[in-house]
Structure 1
């Protein structure tokens, strides 16, 4: 199991467009991935679940992946978050 804390750094937080990109990235991997904020965990394959976390800019989320390619999955999601979901700066 791989677990990493990621800080949301884009201006609008984990909003609809960012959630779609997160889910798209997560679905590329075989690993089972969950995202947690304030004790609430959701599947990384759920756009609505991610949006319900209401992760604003500066919020820390915990990403956990288990199974095949878990390490690669968490690394890719970390890059996506660090790149502000490819949004303009």
Structure 2
């Protein structure tokens, strides 16, 4: 299991279109993927779960991956949230 804290840099945050793109990327991996914000943890492969966090640019989240491709998943999802992909 891997985890990393990251500050959301994509504009306007993980809402609407960016959220859908994030979930699509998360679903391309076999690993379990979660996002934590404050005390709430959601399945990052669920658009409804992701939208329930109301993540805006500048928020800090933790991305957690666990599975056979967890390193690749973590790297790609962190890069997306940081606006690098």
Unaligned runs of 5+ in 1: none
Root-mean-square deviation (CA, aligned residues, Å) is 1.3
Moved over 6 A (4+): none
Deviations 1:27-55 (A, max 9, x none): 11110000010110110111111111111
Larger proportion of strand: 2
Aligned length: 85
The reply on whether 1:19 has 2:19 as its aligned counterpart is yes
**TM-score of the superposition, structure 1-length normalised?**
0.88
Unaligned runs of 5+ in 2: none
Q: What's the offset of the Cα at 1:19?
A: 0.9
